[in-house]
Amino acid sequence: MTFTVFLNCLYRAFEYMGGVPKKILFDNAKVVVSKRVGSVVRFQADLLQFAALMRFRPDACWVKDSETKGKVESTVGYVHRDFYYGRNFADLETMNRQVRQWCDEVNREIHATTQEVPVERWAAERACLTPLPQKKPVLFRIQRAKVNKACLFSFAKNQYSVPKEYARQYVRLEIYEHEFRVLVENTEISRWPRTTERGRQFLIQEHYHGRFKGAKQSALEIQFRGLCPEASTYLEGLRESRGNSLREQMQQIVGLSGKYSTDEMTQAMSRALQYRSFGYDVLQRILRKQREVPSSLPQAVERPSAQAEAPRLPRVGVETRDPSYYAVRVGSATWKTSSMD
């Protein structure tokens, strides 16, 4: 429930009622109240700005006061029981269409408390409302974001790309209910839909065209690849498994070259590649065991490729004899067992 969503919901309520009340009683939600000390209430600046535009006065319920909040809570329960339970909704649009139809039906029934039909009573009360502005206000809020060297900025726990020329700069976000715009000064450089997903990266490939053209290897990468023959292959696996801390991992592994020889690094990386296990801690542990207790390491098993031919055994000639040869030898032999003296 962001400010933009909350204020748009309020405006849609005004449209449904055909006007704006002089006073609106709110709960103490964070989108309404920023701070409260007893009866002294500090409302959120966005709400006050919206109230001034729509010409209503906000008020806040007493905390944990059932007398001021009970009617609201009971209405929510009524909507759940009479409308929500037992229905199926394919999407939000379908649910909104059904709830509008439900409102039209129940508002034409006699109310249990007032014993009046709500739409008939509303016809008289509507004259007390402040008219809506002739033009619907565009509701959005502004936020500043820093673009990193990878041409990404963070918003709502996701990362979004911008064209490469805006790397390491600040951009301005205009955040609407269903989308947000990315601007530099007054120029829009990208536009994205809002999403409830978190931890995602949203990239546009055109933003990176030409960024890596002719890029040279960094000094650290050159140093890493020169550790041993297996280092280049090992680096690819390290990049996949340790993307966020790659540079730190590379620096630590390069530091191991001062304690271990090229042959030791080759053996350790070969073993790590065989088991697809990457990282400074793993590699350091292998190197230490290779030097101190090599017998504790599992023996590497080389699997022959499917196309490799099975080794051919050499032909060995065997001399054959007639069985009578063995009969003569057995007959002339003297045998002695443990039962004989």
List, in sequence order, every residue forming a beta bridge with 57; answer none if it has no partner.
Answer: 23
| C-alpha distances in Å from residue 86, one per residue of 38, 83, 102, 271 | 42, 8, 14, 59
| C-alpha distances in Å from residue 99, one per residue of 56, 74, 92, 95, 105 | 26, 17, 11, 6, 10
Residue ranges of E strands in 8-104 = 23-26, 33-37, 40-43, 57-60
Q: Where does residue 263 rank: exposed (0-12), middle (13-18), buried (19+ CB within 10 A)?
A: exposed
Q: Does domain 3-128 sit in CATH 3.30.420?
A: yes
Task: Tell me the C-alpha distance between 339 and 10, whole Å.
Answer: 112
Task: Tell me the C-alpha distance between 9 and 15, whole Å.
Answer: 10
Please list the pLDDT of the chain residue by residue as tens digits (341 residues).
788 889 999 999 999 999 999 999 998 889 999 998 888 999 999 899 999 999 999 999 888 777 777 677 788 888 999 999 888 889 989 999 999 999 999 999 999 888 999 999 998 889 899 999 988 888 888 999 999 988 899 999 999 999 989 989 999 999 999 999 999 998 999 999 999 888 888 988 888 876 655 445 677 888 888 888 889 889 888 888 765 678 888 889 988 888 898 889 999 999 999 888 888 999 999 999 989 888 877 765 554 444 445 555 555 555 666 666 666 555 554 444 444 44
- The predicted pLDDT at position 10 comes to 94
| Domain spans in the chain, listed from the N-terminal domain onward | 3-128, 144-208, 219-296
Q: Provide the 3-class DSSP secondary structure of residue 305.
A: coil
From the centroid of its chain, how far is CA 11? Answer: 32
Determine the residue type at 54. Answer: M
Name the residue among 161, 155, 196, 148 with its Cα closest to residue 174: 155
- The predicted pLDDT at position 305 comes to 47
- The predicted pLDDT at position 334 comes to 46
